Amino acid sequence: METKDNPYLKFSEPNQGCLLALRHIILNYDENISESIKYGSACFSYNNKILCYLLVEKKSNSPYILFAEGRYIEDVELESGDRKRMKIFRVIADDDIPLGKVEDLLSKAISLYSK
């Protein structure tokens, strides 16, 4: 990925490091997950279907994973807010990433595409 196209470089620490760690977790979770840039943000697809995005909320400056088909994922830690289709999982940039939780959510999201 060229520097000018790298969506992670627009964030300062600790958000940049957190997003890069989440990127690593997502890409290594399943060999069928690929990365692209959509709307200036990191987008991850599973077998060419959009799985999730990595974003930082402007108001709170907090990173989160936005699951494209979140409305079908039942989990108390996912928030829909005003969204009808998507849900988010907030991550605290200064804390350890809850690896088990992220992998559980990825598993739930991927299972939607195999039905």
In tens, the pLDDT along 53-81 reads: 999 999 999 999 999 999 999 999 999 98
Return the axis-axis angle of helices 15-29 and 99-113, rounded to nearest 10°.
50
CB 42 within 8 A of CB 68: no
pLDDT of residue 52: 98
Distance between CA 113 and CA 83 in Å, rounded?
20
Q: What angle do CA 59, 7, 74 make, to 5 degrees?
A: 60
Whole-number Cα distances in Å, 83 to 11, 66, 77, 78: 24, 11, 15, 12
Distance between CA 48 and CA 16 in Å, rounded?
26
Q: What is the pTM of this model?
A: 0.92
Closest CA relative to residue 7, chosen from 44, 31, 46, 38? 38
85: confidence class by pLDDT, cuts 50, 70, 90: very high
CATH code of the domain made up of 3-113: 3.90.1150.200
Q: Position 1: which residue type? A: M
Token readout for 52 is 């999730």
pLDDT of residue 91: 97
